[in-house]
Amino acid sequence: MNPVAHWQDRFAGTAERGPGSLAALRRKAIDRFAETGFPTTRIEEWRYTNPAAIAKLGWQPATPVEVEREAFERVAFPVFACSVVVFVNGHYVEALSTPPGLRPRLGVTPLAGEFVDADGARTERLGSLAGAAEGGFADLNTAFFRDGAHVRIPQGEIHEEPIHLVFVNAPGAGATDSHPRVLIEAEPGSRATVIEDHVSLARTSAGETLTNAITEIHADDGARVEWIKVQREHPGAFHVSGMHARVGRDARLSCHTLAFGTALTRNDLRVTLAEPGAECDLSGLFVAGGEQHVDNHTWIDHAKPHGTSRELYKGILDGRARGVFNGRVVVRPDAQKSNAQQQNPNLLLSRDAEMSTQPQLEIRADDVRCTHGSTIGQLDETALFYLRSRGIPRDEARQLLMRGFVSEITRGLSVPALAERIEDLAVERLETGREPADGSGA
């Protein structure tokens, strides 16, 4: 059976598709996937990343499993004084989440529960941004997601503590998939930080696992949204994700994508600065070793005047790992007075590691300021020699230099405790191939 027919048959056998509006959305998505199928390297945006290993497997839905709190806490980040909402294999788990009555006054609800009683009102924005992007993967998510998180920050609400969404991958036998979905709606003048955390219950798996995640963010006029995505699944997993955002007048969106290596990781981020004065900051850190492959594609659309975008993606590659960065910035004719900055510095720690970087500017307006650049290099041997001359062992000196490289990204996080954990995780993944001693970086 060809891959497209496999997914069509799965959809035909799916009994629960939700109420009318959602069922129609799912049907449209699977029909579109039937026409396009999986991407290939003949498509320019997938030229350096071959998803054939994903397409050829006969994926089956990951089943709900019971996870003991002790097992969850071994892989979970510490609680950052925030609301925690946990999903295991794509299913909401109330027993591991912050009780609804203790959550702050803002809407953080499982998507599946909303569709039981509602038909249309709460699905109006679902799928309005993701569309047919990600070479068919977004359509698969829409067709097959079972649950997810709907985060709604009411108008004018300022929420100081972060909201932590945890998606736990508990692999079983065979090839299993899950399709997490997140919808974030920040109403005018609101402010919040959302951490989206993808983690495996075990460091190894007897079978293949696929996470195919979609996040849609609506930052309405004057809103401030920080979105932090951490991908720390087991090294043999497959992870494909899309983040789609619309930023309103004088609103600001900060996105931090932190990827710590799977067999294949593909992150697509698409941001539209839809109104005058819209602003976005995109930062990313990706760390890979062995024969892992990490691909980050970003697209920032300056659609209106006085928009500002800043982009900084950093990669560290070891072994025979392969990294890809493609950052496209489009400034439309009406987007005068736009300001766009993009940088992509990378470190190669071995001779066999490879990095492909493609910063792109497409400028159709006259009165703009746009810059971009990329570098590929090794650890600074002069700095390494200096540290060693001060009596610091070579391994410790390497760690200090890598922390310095990583810290430019982590300084941008509004959660200091998380920033510290991310630095630890980056060093541990590269230096020892294991997690920090307390187990918090699964």
For every residue of 330-346, DSSP letters joined together read EE-TT-TT-EEEEEEEE
d(CA 327, CA 298): 5
d(CA 298, CA 310): 12
One-letter identity of residue 150 = H
pLDDT of residue 395: 82
d(CA 114, CA 131): 21
pLDDT of residue 284: 98
- The tokens of 373 are what? 């650049």
Neighbours of 297 (CB within 10 A): 22
For residue 228, list its beta bridge partners. Answer: 195, 256
d(CA 265, CA 294): 5
Q: Are 323 and 317 in contact (CB under 8 A)?
A: yes
Main-chain phi, psi angles of 339, to 5 degrees: -135, 120
Q: What is the pTM assigned to this prediction?
A: 0.93
Q: Are 180 and 125 in contact (CB under 8 A)?
A: no
Task: Return all residues near 386 (Cβ < 8 A) that are at least 6 apart.
Answer: none
One-letter identity of residue 373 = G
Main-chain phi, psi angles of 87, to 5 degrees: -125, 135
Distance from chain centroid for Cα 169: 15
pLDDT of residue 379: 84
Sign, Cα dihedral of 433, 437, 439, 440: negative
pLDDT of residue 438: 43
pLDDT of residue 434: 39
Q: What is the longest distance spanned by two Cα atoms in the chain?
A: 70
- The tokens of 253 are what? 């969106």
The Cα-based distances of 234 to 82, 338, 429, 432, 435 in angstroms read: 25, 41, 11, 15, 11
pLDDT of residue 265: 98
- The tokens of 112 are what? 């599946």
pLDDT per residue, tens digit, the chain (442 aa), is 688 999 999 998 876 667 677 888 899 999 999 999 999 999 999 999 999 999 988 899 998 889 999 999 988 887 776 789 999 999 999 999 987 655 555 577 888 766 655 554 455 788 888 876 666 999 999 999 989 999 999 999 998 889 999 999 987 778 899 999 999 999 999 999 999 999 998 776 667 899 999 999 999 999 999 999 999 998 889 999 999 999 999 999 999 999 997 999 999 999 999 999 999 999 999 999 999 999 999 999 999 999 999 999 999 999 999 999 999 999 999 999 999 999 999 999 999 999 999 999 999 999 999 999 999 998 888 888 778 888 888 888 888 888 999 999 999 999 999 999 999 999 888 775 434 444 444 4
Fill in the DSSP letter of residue 21: H
For residue 212, list its beta bridge partners. Answer: 240
Q: Are 110 and 92 in contact (CB under 8 A)?
A: yes
DSSP H or E run through 71: helix 69-75
Q: Are 418 and 77 in contact (CB under 8 A)?
A: yes
Q: Which residue has the tokens 């590929």?
A: 376
CA angle 33, 34, 38 (to 5 degrees): 55
What is the chain's percent helix, strand, coil content, to nearest 5?
Answer: 25, 35, 40
d(CA 111, CA 116): 9
Task: Return all residues near 307 (Cβ < 8 A) that are at least 6 apart.
Answer: 273, 276, 277, 278, 279, 335, 338, 339
Length reported for the chain: 442
* Residue among 35, 54, 157, 177 nearest 104 (CA): 157
Q: Are 201 and 168 in contact (CB under 8 A)?
A: yes
CA angle 43, 49, 53 (to 5 degrees): 105
Radius of gyration of the chain (CA): 21
pLDDT of residue 280: 98
The DSSP secondary structure of 141-210, one letter per residue, reads HHHH---EEEEEE-TT-B--SPEEEEEEE---SS-EEE--EEEEEE-TT-EEEEEEEEEESSSS-SS-EE
